[in-house]
Structure 1
Amino acid sequence: MKKWMFMIVAALMVLAACNGDSSEEDDDNVETETPIETVDVVQKDFTETRSFTARLTPNEQSPVMAEMPGEVEDVFFERGETVEEGDVLMDYQTQRGMLELEAPIDGMLQNFDFEEGDMVTAEEPAGMVINQDPIVFNFQVTQADRNLVSEGDTVNYNVSQAEATGEAEVTYVASTTGETGMFSVEARADQPDDTIPTGLTGQIEIDNVIAEGALVVPTEAVIERSGETFVFVAQDGEAKQVNVSIVEQHSAETAIEASGDNELEAGDAVISVGQLTLEDGASIRIVEGE
């Protein structure tokens, strides 16, 4: 009796083991889906930004000159204040009687520091009026970069010291080089509040179109493997390898075009995360938004 019981138990153990092996084999046959993220292919002009150091100068400046020497009687403005052409800055007594010292142009009064009883001369300026609206950016470009700018173009500026950014209009491009062998360029930007002082330096940024209407993807989406350059496109739950050639590459974006019989167009979902371990036809699962 005991012998029959032992045989039954053994048979059950063998059956259980067989079932376990079958389950493991089934697990091995299940294809794993790789989690990925995608970015749509964008068609646009592919540009690079060229930066030039510019010196900031006033639109206009004019010295404040007294007609003749005299003694200051009354002062009506202080340095740093905004004046208009014809404003009386001070009265001063001369041999010809009381005279008025007027602002020669609109702008900001500088280097003007007088009190009653001070002497003013006719030989040196009593001050300076600087018109900073518009502010003028002066910079230089090489022959290779000269074709990037023309009079009337709009360029971007960045004056970090004044925490100011904006747009300026190119008002002058030299037709010949100066002593440095470069071409002088001038751009102007309105600033009615005089927020950017002259004398600083800033950056003029000009976008240069490298490829018009290019297909652009994140640089990390482009893979180079075994002598091939390609991207993976998410299509019907699978990763489709699309061979491409690089038109131009930046650190963040790359302009590409499909090579051979491959096709790629704007709006295709290029895999940008999880692509490095994929093979053509691999099962994928998009996890964006989760």
Structure 2
Amino acid sequence: MPKKKLLYVIAGGIALVVVIAAAGKMISSAKTAQEANAIPSIKETAVNVVIAKKSAVESSVSFNASLEASEEGLVSAKTPGKIIQIFFENGKSVSQGEVLAKLDETDIRNNIKTSQAQLNAAKSQLASSQVGLQKIQANLENTQRSYDRTKAMYEQQIVSKADLENAEVALKVALADMESAKAGIDAQKANLQTAETSLSILNDSLKNTSITAPISGVMSGKNIAIGQYINTGTVIGTVQNADPIYAVIDVAESDLSYVKKGAAASFQLSDGSETKYNGTVEIVGGAADPVSRRFQCKIKLDNPKGALKPGVFGRVRFAADGNKQVISLPVKALGESEGSYYVFLNENGTAKKQSVTVGKLFQDSVEITSGVEEGNSIVCTNVGTLQDGDAIRAVAE
């Protein structure tokens, strides 16, 4: 092949290689640019949603409540002593005045015998002194008459001045004897009164060796044992009268229009029982608690079978006139943060966090008083894990 023609072939080959290389670079650059401009895929959270709408609900208000006895009496010792008998256990129903425990009365009975003997002696001494006083009184009267005669005779100059002076001395002695006798009798009367008081106290102590129930009710808080020595005032248990029983609630001022004295109410236990106990408001607090700013109110419930126990929790409900239209959402749609409530709105596949205020609580739903409008799509699952602006995909409504 001629040399000149070979050079043309080589030059053509080189040019072809350059073109191919340039084309490859352009294709690679275009692919890189396409990858750089590609939009990354967004992860969506699948959620259930509900459409907010108004519905008619019974107009009512309810409150958390705790039960407390209508009466409570502490059973305590009125005299010291050793316990020798116990007649109650926790949970026993007792009647007012029923003997619950017995103290040893041996020492008291011995003291009563001594005190009775002292009283009898005081009575005997007083009686004897009163007889003596009568004699002294008679002597005084005779001495007074003798003095009066002597004075009259002296004035008639029948007797001497010495005779009159002797009569005066005798009268003064008789008067002194009378005053002394009266003072002695007053002291003996005081002794008699002291002896009578001591005996009365001992008899009361003897009576108080039987510790009785101050009211009728059910016993609780037993804390004594046979052989234990207790002092005056020692509490050995508590009697609680639970028929009737009170449901105690704390009420905001805005709800006092429902909770008026004599208003009807119903109570249900928090254990899931559907049994309702009807009652009426008996006590409405006259002043709000300085901390909670709420009023304590008590609803009286009949409890003849003792099914309701003090210390148990439940809810009290007050019904109002008629029904009202409200927006209510499932409780699970509600989120809470630092005492404020919120929901997530479904806005075209985006979760929007929305603050709300709540009203009455129903069985599985809650009234929304602001923050949600009728027709809003509300997320009701995954509320605790969603963030404002998260992408969501509604899988059910």
Shorter-normalised TM range? 0.5 to 0.7
* Structure whose residues are more often strand by fraction: 1
State yes or no: 1:51 paired with 2:62. yes
Ranges in structure 1 where 5+ consecutive residues have no aligned partner: 1-44, 215-249, 253-290
2:104 is aligned to 93
**How many pairs are equivalent?**
172
> How far 1:204 moved relative to its partner?
0.4
* Equivalent residue letter for 2:285: A
* Equivalent residue letter for 1:81: K
Secondary structure at 2:303's aligned position in 1?
A: coil
* Equivalent residue letter for 1:139: I
Instruction: Decide which of 282, 285, 289 is 1:178's aligned counterpart.
Output: 289
Task: Give 1:261-276 correspondences, 5 Å limit.
Answer: none
2:90 is aligned to 79
Instruction: Decide which of 247, 261, 280 is 1:151's aligned counterpart.
Output: 261
Return the alpha-carbon distance in structure 1 between the equivalents of residues 61 and 75 of structure 2.
40
* Counterpart contact for 1:79–1:110, Cα < 8 Å: yes
> How far 1:113 moved relative to its partner?
4.6
Return the alpha-carbon distance in structure 2 between the equivalents of residues 58 and 147 of structure 1.
26
* 1:188-234 deviations in Å (ceiling 9; x for gaps): 1010222111112210011223559x9xxxxxxxxxxxxxxxxxxxx
> How far 1:162 moved relative to its partner?
8.5
> How far 1:167 moved relative to its partner?
0.7
Question: Per the alignment, do residues 106 and 46 of structure 1 end up closer, same or farther by CA in structure 2, a change over 3 Å counting?
Answer: same
1:62 is aligned to 73
State yes or no: 1:119 paired with 2:229. yes
* Counterpart contact for 1:78–1:113, Cα < 8 Å: no
1:202 is aligned to 314
* Equivalent residue letter for 1:104: P
Question: Per the alignment, do residues 162 and 70 of structure 1 end up closer, same or farther by CA in structure 2, a change over 3 Å counting?
Answer: farther
Instruction: Decide which of 76, 97, 108 is 2:218's aligned counterpart.
Output: 108
Task: Give 1:224-235 correspondences, 5 Å limit.
Answer: none
Return the alpha-carbon distance in structure 1 between the equivalents of residues 297 and 262 of structure 2.
12
Question: Per the alignment, do residues 142 and 115 of structure 1 end up closer, same or farther by CA in structure 2, a change over 3 Å counting?
Answer: closer
* Counterpart contact for 2:91–2:220, Cα < 8 Å: yes
* Equivalent residue letter for 2:87: F
* Equivalent residue letter for 2:252: T
Q: Bigger relative contact order, structure 1 or 2, given CA contacts below 8 A and separation 6+?
A: 2
* Equivalent residue letter for 2:220: Q
Instruction: Decide which of 260, 278, 291 is 1:167's aligned counterpart.
Output: 278
Return the alpha-carbon distance in structure 1 between the equivalents of residues 276 and 310 of structure 2.
15
* Equivalent residue letter for 1:169: T
Return the alpha-carbon distance in structure 2 between the equivalents of residues 130 and 206 of structure 1.
27
* Structure whose residues are more often helix by fraction: 2
Instruction: Decide which of 237, 245, 266 is 1:135's aligned counterpart.
Output: 245
* 1:76-96 deviations in Å (ceiling 9; x for gaps): 222210000100112111542
Question: Per the alignment, do residues 194 and 162 of structure 1 end up closer, same or farther by CA in structure 2, a change over 3 Å counting?
Answer: farther
Return the alpha-carbon distance in structure 2 between the equivalents of residues 119 and 202 of structure 1.
41
Return the alpha-carbon distance in structure 2 between the equivalents of residues 93 and 121 of structure 1.
13
Task: Detail structure 1 runs of 4+ shifted over 6 Å in the superposition.
Answer: none
Question: Per the alignment, do residues 208 and 122 of structure 1 end up closer, same or farther by CA in structure 2, a change over 3 Å counting?
Answer: same
> How far 1:107 moved relative to its partner?
0.5
* Counterpart contact for 1:120–1:126, Cα < 8 Å: no
* Counterpart contact for 2:59–2:323, Cα < 8 Å: no
State yes or no: 1:190 paired with 2:302. yes
Return the alpha-carbon distance in structure 2 between the equivalents of residues 162 and 102 of structure 1.
39
Question: Per the alignment, do residues 162 and 85 of structure 1 end up closer, same or farther by CA in structure 2, a change over 3 Å counting?
Answer: farther
Return the alpha-carbon distance in structure 2 between the equivalents of residues 64 and 157 of structure 1.
30
* 1:45-75 deviations in Å (ceiling 9; x for gaps): 9632321011211101111111122111222
Secondary structure at 2:304's aligned position in 1?
A: coil
CA RMSD of aligned residues (A): 2.7
> How far 1:157 moved relative to its partner?
0.5
Return the alpha-carbon distance in structure 1 between the equivalents of residues 80 and 86 of structure 2.
16
Larger radius of gyration: 2
Ranges in structure 2 where 5+ consecutive residues have no aligned partner: 1-55, 110-205, 326-361, 366-397
Question: Per the alignment, do residues 184 and 113 of structure 1 end up closer, same or farther by CA in structure 2, a change over 3 Å counting?
Answer: closer
* Counterpart contact for 2:76–2:237, Cα < 8 Å: yes
* Counterpart contact for 2:78–2:233, Cα < 8 Å: no
Q: TM-score, normalised by structure 2?
A: 0.40
Return the alpha-carbon distance in structure 1 between the equivalents of residues 60 and 213 of structure 2.
42
Q: TM-score, normalised by structure 1?
A: 0.53
